[in-house]
A = this chain, B = another copy of it.
Amino acid sequence: MNKILKLNETDLDVTVQGGLGWEELRDYLSDYHLLYSPDPGPSATIAGGLANSCSGTNAARYGTAKENVLSITVVLADGTIIKTKKRARKSAAGYNLTGLFVGSEGTLGIITEATLKLWTKPKFENIAVISFPSIADAASTVTSIVQNGIYANALELLDETMMRFINESGETTSKYDVNPTLMLKLGGDSKETVKLLTNSVKKICAQNNSKTFRFAETEDEKEELWTARKVALWSTINWGKANIDPEVNVWTTDVAVPISNFVKTISETQDDIKQSGFISSIVGHAGDGNFHALILYKHEDYQKCRDLVQRMVDRALVHEGTCTGEHGVGYGKRGYLEEEVGEDTIALMRKIKLALDPERILNPDKIFKIDPNDHEP
């Protein structure tokens, strides 16, 4: 269940079995200079990523998992195997079943095969790392870039705590300015295009008080700069173990809001974390208005941490956002989901669930409780 079945280079699609690791697919496609854009956590499988509608650092440019799949094969609760579509890029033929299963967290069927959309990797791409005096300046830069119709291939925001953890992690050879930082991927089909794009971005950064603008000159440097982004989670955990408690836990959570509310949501969250006495790094897929808090907490502070997360979600909902931009609901965010979309919308999801899985055998009680009168499991 982890095979690559067929690559169609001309059509920019690939058919794979559900159990394939996305990193294996990434490495395989790299030889063809092609990209499957979702980049979830390292151990994720393709079907797992689809079931959770994953995204990652490339989503602002290329969309999330649900925009990058053409067709899936699904085993339904009664054992029937269906295929949702053929291989055409565009289709208006019947209900969008692909879109329904993607993000349903295994509650409606099991994805066994998928035909995925691929992208030609930009011929030229560079990484820019830009620091700012405040998180508000960094976030405002993102808004301006989006507003100006400039398409960066990734638009990542890391707060000053995150930058400190990266510096102290020893995972990167060079040290970074310990300030709120944007990491951008800027690509194009010629060096000149990338240069023009970079100049436009540089100008916007300067207008938003950027302090340093660092640019990769070599392939190694590119790799090095992006590594800093990729080690976010582990450097937070390691810092916590070394500096707080060897048994420290990390509560990873994410929300997303419309970009106009990004600055205040992220700033208020940062303030709340400090006032609550927690240490947390914040890293955001800023182009999507989506950010993660990686909150370090000791076992005895579990409830206090939970309250902090509740306030973070409430804040996102007040700002017209969502309780989860990419992590999904599972058991943990069921209550938040109901706050977000309301009882009637949940009731509709429940109708679909029961129509497709009347015996309630598939990941029962994930996303919402099948019987709303059930007590907490």
A185 within 8 A of B: no
A352 within 8 A of B: yes
* Residues from chain B with Cβ under 8 Å of A99 in the complex: 66, 96, 99-100
A103 within 8 A of B: yes
A 119-162 contacts with B by CB, 8 A = 119-123, 143, 146-150
Q: How many copies of this chain does one complex carry?
A: 2
A39 within 8 A of B: no
User: Per-residue 0/1 for A262-288: is the Cβ within 8 Å of any B Cβ (1 yes, 0 no)?
Assistant: 000000000000000000000001001
Question: With A59-B90, A86-B320 in contact, do A344 and B81 touch (Cβ < 8 Å)?
Answer: yes
* 9-residue interface stretch from A20-28, A220-228, A253-261, A298-306: A253-261
How far does the alpha carbon of A138 sit from the alpha carbon of B93 in the complex, in Å?
A: 27
A308 within 8 A of B: no
How far does the alpha carbon of A5 sit from the alpha carbon of B91 in the complex, in Å?
A: 30
Number of A residues whose C-beta is below 8 Å from B?
98
A340 within 8 A of B: yes
A 76-127 contacts with B by CB, 8 A = 76, 80-97, 99-100, 102-104, 108, 119-123
How far does the alpha carbon of A329 sit from the alpha carbon of B95 in the complex, in Å?
A: 10
**A50 → chain B, closest Cβ, in Å?**
12
Question: With A99-B99, A329-B93, A333-B93 in contact, do A149 and B189 touch (Cβ < 8 Å)?
Answer: yes
A53 within 8 A of B: yes
Q: Which residue of B lies closest to A320 (CB)?
A: B87
How far does the alpha carbon of A193 sit from the alpha carbon of B190 in the complex, in Å?
A: 10
B341 and A84: CB pair below 8 A?
yes
B82 and A348: CB pair below 8 A?
yes
A317 within 8 A of B: yes
B103 and A96: CB pair below 8 A?
yes
A102 and B96: CB pair below 8 A?
yes
A11 within 8 A of B: yes
Contact pick for A94, options B120, B316, B337, CB 8 Å:
B337
B86 and A340: CB pair below 8 A?
yes
Q: Which residue of B lies closest to A119 (CB)?
A: B149
The 9 closest A-B pairs by CB, nearest first: A99-B99, A120-B149, A355-B355, A91-B322, A10-B260, A11-B258, A88-B256, A87-B320, A90-B288
For this complex, 27 residue pairs linking A to B, each with C-beta atoms less than 8 Å apart, are: A10-B259, A11-B260, A59-B90, A64-B90, A66-B96, A81-B344, A82-B345, A83-B342, A86-B317, A86-B321, A86-B340, A88-B289, A88-B322, A89-B256, A89-B290, A90-B256, A92-B103, A92-B324, A93-B340, A94-B329, A95-B100, A95-B349, A95-B367, A96-B99, A97-B345, A97-B348, A122-B149
Known pairs A88-B256, A94-B349, A189-B200; list 16 more (Cβ under 8 Å): A10-B259, A11-B260, A54-B92, A85-B322, A88-B325, A89-B258, A91-B256, A92-B329, A93-B337, A93-B340, A95-B100, A95-B104, A95-B352, A149-B189, A193-B197, A351-B355
